[in-house]
Amino acid sequence: MVFSSRFEDALIYAHRLHASQKRKGKTVPYVAHLLGVTGIALEHGATEEEAIAALLHDAVEDQGGEPVREEIRRRFGEVVLEIVDGCTDSKTTPKPPWRGRKEAYIAHLAHASASSCLVSASDKLHNARDLLMDYRLLGEEVWSRFHGGKEGTLWYFKTLVSVLRGRAPGALVDELDRVVTEIERLASS
């Protein structure tokens, strides 16, 4: 696939939006996550619109709510915006309480578009891989980074696997399941 200039524009826009943001509990620039999610989505057949949405999947939630949402619509169109909306668990600041927000997002995923499920599954796989790597380095200390703590975070990932099974490409959810199972195994030993 050869990308149009829209992909380049989205990459620059995503970088600018998240330029001062770091990964949770780390010094890693947040754009590393956006690139990782986009790479996973592309490896699982993403179209250009889906790849652009992968770059922008956290923009509304983390970088400005409705004004950023409208800018995404203006710059990248309705298709990209619909995918981003499907990956967004909060459009308000401050965000609603963690558990309720995650339960609502899970309920939404059961009916989300295939494109939103692809990007969401790619996002969750990248997050789970990151968590697994950090757990191997830090052990139980890693759970302090997460609003849901150990139990809530494990519940969230296991429930996502269950909901995404059949909603996103099989190999993608299979890999997410393997990573989550490994996290659970390590966390229970």
Give 117-172 pLDDT, tens digit per residue. 999 999 999 999 999 999 999 999 999 999 999 999 999 999 999 999 988 779 99
The Cα 163–Cα 167 span in angstroms is 7
Domain spans in the chain, listed from the N-terminal domain onward: 5-188
Q: Phi first, then psi: what are they for 35, rounded to 5°?
A: -70, -40
Neighbours of 71 (CB within 10 A): 17
Could you tell me the CA-to-CA distances from 73 to 37, 77, 85, 105, 115 in Å, in that order?
Answer: 21, 5, 11, 21, 16
The Cα 176–Cα 157 span in angstroms is 9
Q: Which of the four CATH numbers 1.10.3210.10, 3.40.220.10, 3.90.1150.10, 3.20.20.70 does domain 5-188 have?
A: 1.10.3210.10
In this structure, the chain runs to a length of 189
pLDDT in the model for residue 166: 81
Quick: pLDDT tens for 66-104. Answer: 999 999 999 999 999 999 999 998 777 788 899 999 999
125 touches 33 (CB < 8 A): no
pLDDT in the model for residue 96: 86
Quick: pLDDT tens for 23-41. Answer: 988 899 999 999 999 999 9
- 143: which 2 tokens? 């759970």
Q: What sign results for the dihedral spanned by CA atoms 30, 179, 145, 157?
A: positive
The CB-side HSE value for 22 (13 A sphere, CA atoms) comes to 6
